[in-house]
């Protein structure tokens, strides 16, 4: 491969040959002497599938006088590799060696890179070869490129910015969901946090950001963090979708299946973390069951779409994006597609879209819960209004009067007394019997309107019986004010009521009592006003009476002088 300083990145696989070392015992010096072992790779894209043997890659380098004046870098844009050995060959001698990979400490090569990288020491006019030996437990993804140091650093900075944006977005989603979980006590946000934490952890390891900035050269973490995080995200998906689509139907077959899937996945994650389940088994389990939550939930989501539920559509789009990304990753791991920017990042982009659409589902579900709570509150309020309101006149009934009356009793004083008037219509029963209940109902509504015109805020009128009303007067300043208001209520019935073609005359008998002068409790105050009204009935009706305390009994025992 001719090194051209003007080229941004040069794909080494255009000229590379490979050797598969099944025994894993070959050395660089041996292969320099036995170049005949190298042959054309099965795929030119840099992805060789899942292999357990050691893979050697040979790249011839042509170094001109112009290109030798630059610093050149050979890099693999994939870091989840157990052993990565770079050898620079000049002539027939190994002149530079860099041993990398997550299973061992990196050789000092002057670059703290995210992925395996070697700073090449090239000599102008000399014959060079680059040998690369890779051994790993996972897929053999080897996007090998050669570039000048400035070009490599520019590419690396762009990748770091991309990872910073996407991982920062994930961090924000995690913080939001945890905060909502804590404040709202809704497990749905906790399940969503599991999905995002698992996906973010998996991608931190896949793109080697975690090894570069968080846990460093820790083989135990590097081997287990990706499958463990992937299983956490999978368990979160089971629980999140069950919560969203099953709702309160926790005993359905779907809900039990999703709960069982989550439980098995959590056990697998714990077993992987503890070392009871090896990494290849955990990875295979995750690959085989990764789409299972979506497949189990698909019929319910499709039903939601047909029913017009807005939750169904973003779920379908989320699964489409995630499935497409996961499919590309499987194809990349198996060596079916070349290792380049879009294939390496397809799963990350799909998972990010999936998380954002899940966030949309989260918002729609939270809105639905709020709407249900608001509707329940409205129904509860409506029932309460019905229970406390007279359906004919719209006035408070006896139950609706209890709260305001009890509250008013607490503020009643001699300077600002509270008056309760019990009003009974005179002559209503004959009208009702003669003209029917429809006319009687209209007459009661007319009476309620006329009485309402005689009181002022914050006074209150209630219908407490068939033709019996009660007025709670809280705007009085003296007993004289109470007497005047009672007279106005009696006078309100002097004019006849016009109900259709009928002119109907009614009277009113009113009894009232004052607090705190006449009574100290609400029950006693109403009782005294009611007694005064009955006394008015006995006195001939059409009158106003105030409660008067009985005179004290005279003692028959003579006073002792």
User: Exposed/middle/buried for 236, CB within 10 Å: 0-12, 13-18, 19+?
Assistant: buried
Angstrom CA distances, 433 to 245, 429, 438, 441, stand at 60, 6, 11, 12
Distance of alpha carbon 242 from alpha carbon 35, whole angstroms: 58
The reported pLDDT for the residue numbered 110 is 53
CA distance 182 to 53: 49
Q: 398-546: same fold as 10-153? A: no
pLDDT of residue 92: 87
CATH code 3.30.70.270 for 398-546: yes
User: What residue has token string 């060079």?
Assistant: 128
pLDDT score recorded for residue 107: 55
pLDDT recorded at residue 409:
92
Annotation: CATH topology of 10-153: Immunoglobulin-like (2.60.40)
Label each residue of 323-379 as H, E or C: HHHHHHHHHHHCCCCCCCHHHHHHHHHHHHHHHHHHHHHHHHHHHHHHHHHHHHHHH
Average pLDDT by stretches of 10, the chain with 561 residues: 80 94 92 93 87 93 78 90 92 90 66 85 86 90 92 91 94 92 88 94 89 79 88 94 83 91 95 88 86 92 90 91 90 90 92 91 82 82 82 90 91 91 93 91 93 88 92 91 92 91 92 92 93 90 81 37 32
pLDDT of residue 555: 35
- The pLDDT value recorded for residue 457 is 83
C-alpha–C-alpha distance, residues 276 and 265, integer Å: 14
Residue reference for tokens 């952890």: 201
Output the six-digit token pair for 166.
């996407």
Taking Cα atoms as reference points, which of 520, 536, 508, 549 lies closest to residue 417?
520
Give me the residue spans of the domains in the chain. Answer: 10-153, 186-376, 398-546
């Amino acid at each position: 491969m001719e090194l051209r300083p003007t080229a941004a990145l040069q794909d080494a696989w255009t000229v590379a040959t490979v050797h598969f070392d099944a025994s894993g015992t070959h050395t660089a010096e041996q292969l320099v002497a036995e170049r005949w072992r190298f042959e054309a790779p099965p795929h030119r894209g840099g992805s060789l599938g899942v292999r357990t043997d050691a893979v050697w890659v040979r790249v011839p380098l042509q170094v001109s006088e112009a290109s030798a004046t630059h610093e050149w870098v050979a890099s693999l844009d994939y870091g989840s590799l157990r052993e990565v050995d770079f050898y620079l060959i000049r002539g027939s001698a190994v002149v530079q060696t860099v041993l990398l990979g997550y299973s061992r400490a990196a050789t000092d090569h002057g670059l703290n890179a995210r992925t395996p990288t070697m700073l090449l020491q090239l000599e102008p006019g000399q014959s060079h070869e680059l040998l690369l030996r890779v051994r790993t437990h996972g897929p053999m993804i080897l996007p090998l490129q050669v570039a000048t140091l400035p070009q490599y650093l520019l590419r690396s900075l762009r990748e770091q910015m991309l990872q910073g944006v996407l991982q920062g977005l994930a961090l924000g989603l995690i913080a939001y969901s945890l905060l909502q979980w804590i404040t709202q006590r809704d497990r749905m946000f906790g399940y969503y946090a599991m999905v995002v934490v698992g996906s973010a952890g998996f991608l931190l390891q896949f793109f080697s950001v975690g090894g570069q900035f968080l846990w460093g050269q820790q083989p135990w973490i590097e081997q287990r963090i990706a499958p463990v995080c992937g299983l956490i995200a999978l368990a979160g998906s089971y629980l999140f979708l069950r919560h969203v689509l099953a709702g309160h139907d926790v005993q359905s077959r779907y809900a039990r299946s999703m709960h069982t899937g989550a439980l098995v996945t959590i056990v697998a994650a714990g077993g992987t973390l503890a070392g009871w389940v090896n990494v290849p088994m955990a990875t295979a389990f995750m690959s085989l069951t990764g789409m299972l939550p979506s497949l189990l939930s698909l019929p319910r989501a499709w039903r939601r779409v047909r029913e017009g539920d807005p939750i169904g559509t973003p779920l379908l789009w989320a699964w489409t994006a995630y499935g497409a990304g996961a499919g590309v990753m499987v194809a990349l791991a198996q060596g079916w597609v070349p290792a380049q920017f879009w294939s390496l990042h397809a799963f990350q982009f799909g998972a990010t879209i999936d998380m954002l659409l899940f966030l949309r589902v989260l918002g729609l579900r939270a809105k639905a819960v709020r709407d249900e709570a608001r509707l329940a509150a409205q129904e509860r309020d409506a029932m309460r209004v019905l229970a406390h309101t007279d359906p004919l006149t719209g006035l408070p009934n006896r139950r609706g009067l209890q709260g305001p009356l009890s509250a008013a009793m607490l503020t009643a004083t001699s300077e600002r007394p509270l008056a309760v008037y019990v009003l009974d219509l005179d002559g209503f029963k004959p009208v009702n019997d003669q003209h029917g209940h429809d006319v009687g109902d209209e007459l009661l509504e007319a009476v309620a309107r006329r009485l309402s015109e005689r009181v002022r805020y914050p006074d209150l009128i209630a219908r407490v019986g068939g033709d019996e009303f009660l007025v709670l007067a809280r705007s009085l300043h003296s007993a004289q004010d109470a007497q005047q208001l009672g007279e106005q209520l009696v006078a309100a019935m002097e004019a006849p009521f016009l109900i259709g073609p009928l002119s109907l005359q009614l009277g009113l008998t009113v009894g009232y009592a004052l607090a705190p002068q006449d009574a100290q409790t609400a029950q006693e105050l109403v009782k005294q006003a009611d007694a005064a009204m009955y006394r008015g009935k006995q006195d001939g009706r059409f009158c106003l009476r105030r409660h008067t305390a009985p005179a004290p009994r005279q003692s028959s025992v003579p006073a002792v002088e």
